[in-house]
Structure 1
């Protein structure tokens, strides 16, 4: 008997609830989050935070980030963070491929992790710890993560940490207890639901990705889908999965309002209450019972001496002319001194233009920035700019 995938011509499920990086949809906010995470990795900052309501795409964004850069960094991915400090250290070490034993205490595990990170740096490898659902991490363990971020050499961090979670994480970081940690966060992102236009694009993107060439959906059905899903990708997937089944039972290649309504009813998301539909409950937790383990050995980008030579050539050619630079990454910190430890005095955005006034020890350059409040002078990393008049 023909199943509903064959009926619509799909090669696979188009609206799976489990995060699949092959179905990563580049909405404006998700593309921005991905670009900022890329900048975070390459700039070697200490902490990044990703906030979003349940179902807005935090996990798939993180997994897309990991799958894209697993040849540039080694990742420890913590999905269930209700861990003691000792358990956290063990989990990180095990995800990095290091065996641990029950007898090892926190101090022993810490030293073991430190030795591993130093060894990775000697082999030109980065290390990133990602904590998903970080709002659930115990306070004591979160404080240990802050202490881990202190591990660094004279010019670079030994460990980068990404905290991803629901709005409760934001509240936790805003508490006086974690002010020191919050001050170390240089990348702070909030995922928002999809817009109405993006919901339409999202649905057709998934249709096409799954190979469906017979299915369509009416505009009124799309409007209803947006109204009840509020643009939350996980809800869209759950509704559309059932709407497809309803259309299949009707032997219809077109999804209409009736099918969307049936999908809602089967999910028990809404009920009638004095003439108004109200959300009764969000979906049950999706199937996140996988542990993500990456132990991949990679080589970092080769842009040290080559970039320095290029910079020297440009400055030599410019002679006495003023040299300008255009920011090539989503965000670039301007520091008081040519050091990663120096105070951040300003943050530049992609496409902004600055004037180079001095070349320091590679990769630092001193720049002047014109702002509404006057001129700012500081140091930036020349690896993340394009030079020109």
Structure 2
């Protein structure tokens, strides 16, 4: 190995470990459900994005198996050559129906979506107003576009209006976009889309909502844009198929013209092999389940409210969460890591989230209850939280 590279890696890994910022990966020995097995030990799982439990749904497994038998394990090419199967077309029709738009395009991941869609429309002649707590994939997608990125204070509509006015009246930019998470993944709060739309109309902003943590969760499952009834007002509805949907992939939903443009100008669509047939078939099935019934959605919210109330009663700081995502904000990074480790030793898997995922000094354990958890599991988890929280002086 290069001496320079070796010195860089050794020094920086040591520094991360000393600061409590090094992330240890714990491989699962089985499915990612309400309970998981790590190192031979069964744990209550509060760290999964599998909100509705669909990642382990038996009917979706059968759909995936049947698709593999019919189409094979891979699509075999990029979408624009001959990697587009009739399944991909069905998926995109289902996504447009799900999101209430004219059309949709699917990608290999949610991260790919943001890298693809932002840079396909925005360029160095443009500006992007971006909420300061937006997901890393949004930040990277904005950077890739070459547009001027203007950070907007989190959920601050006065700051958004002022910066929108300045950007649009400066004469420096051809187009201006405002981009926001629909549900902010670290805090669980919901974007103020009604006011966003009012400001966007005033200044002719392009609107882009990343609803990775909203699809399947808000709007009775249809997402945050649907929650506010703004399907006709938001230009880009982006989401992932790997969280509440339970499979893998991402999508953008919007007008037919927008989707036609993304199919000829978004680079991951043009240069990456299409999503596998089994995944596409399972995704179509998952979307149908969500569209047919709110049973899983309702159970998710019931469990989320129950856990949230229990943690608040114990004295934990859960921030301003408005969704089942429930952080326990600890602050100091090493203490957050220690708290997570002790929870795991006591039978609860809740991963510590520290810088750079959240700001320094805002370390936390993020809880992700799902529709698959039982009240008994949540009660047991709360008992462990009380024990460990008092042991470490986090609660009294």
Structure 2 length-normalised TM: 0.27
Structure with higher strand content:
1
Structure number with greater Rg is: 1
Q: Which has the higher contact order (CA 8 A, sep 6+)?
A: 2
Indicate the structure with greater helix content.
2
